[in-house]
Each structure stands twice: as C-alpha cells, then as structure tokens.
Amino acid sequence: MDLQNQQRVKDAADKFGPENIVVILGSSDAEGAEIYAETVTNGDPTFAGPLAGAPLGLAVYHILEPEIKEEADQAVWEDQIGMMEMVLDGEALAEAVKGIREQYSKYTL
C-alpha cells in the first residue's frame, strides 16, 4: 500500500478509534486484496511504511462482500459497481479478505 495512504489509515485510527473504522477494499485481484487487508490489520508486511509493526486490527471487507453490498443503495450499486461485479471474481476476493479478517481483525461488523 502507498506509504502516504498507510499514514492516513494510521491517522484515522488515532482520530476516530480503531473500533469505529471499517476499511472497504476495491481491489481487482485476491492477492492484492490480501496484502491490503493484512496491512490494515496486522501491519505492513513489507515493513516499509508507517503501519509496519502496527497491528491496528481494523475491520476490513471487500466491496463485493454481501455484508457491504446489502448496506448500499442498490440502484446506485448497479450503476456504479454492477459492471465490475460481473468482471471481477467476487467470491475469490471475498474469501481472500475474509481469511485475513478472521486471522487478524480485532473488530468486525
């Protein structure tokens, strides 16, 4: 994850409290989604950024997971995300993020 965005995640966790934050990913591939999810839960796996050694344990979901989709405005969802939902492997992305969440997240929805 971009180092600047790692800092923004860290600042948001400090400001709002990690229990109040939900990170939602729009990643296109499962491997990338796992790295993002790990970064915001267990810390930066590359040890390069501000989240290195910072296991925030944030709640993390992929936008295509049912828990998130059911919270969205369905008409807007179809318009904004519907096409990518058809193109991306939502099941693999959901499984990837869920795996990391179950391992490292201290908070869930």
Partner 1 sequence: MGKLSGKKLILLGERDGVAGPAMEESLKNCGAEVAFSVTECFV
Least Å distance, CB 59 to partner 1, is 8
Least Å distance, CB 29 to partner 1, is 8
Give the residues lining the site for partner 1 (CB under 8 A).
1-2, 5, 8-9, 12, 15-16, 20-29, 32, 36, 40, 58, 63-64, 67-68, 71-73, 76-77, 80-81, 84, 88, 109
Reading phi first (left if > 0) and then psi (alpha if -120 to 50, else beta), residue 81 is in: alpha
107 contacts 19 by C-beta, under 8 angstroms: yes
Give 19 or 103: the residue with its C-beta nearer to partner 1: 19
Give 29 or 103: the residue with its C-beta nearer to partner 1: 29
HEC profile for 35-65?
A: HHHHHHHCCCCCCCCCCCCCCCCCEEEECCC
Least Å distance, CB 67 to partner 1, is 7
Least Å distance, CB 30 to partner 1, is 11
Residue 12's SS3 state is: helix
The alpha carbon of residue 79 and the mean position of all alpha carbons in its chain are separated, in whole angstroms, by 22
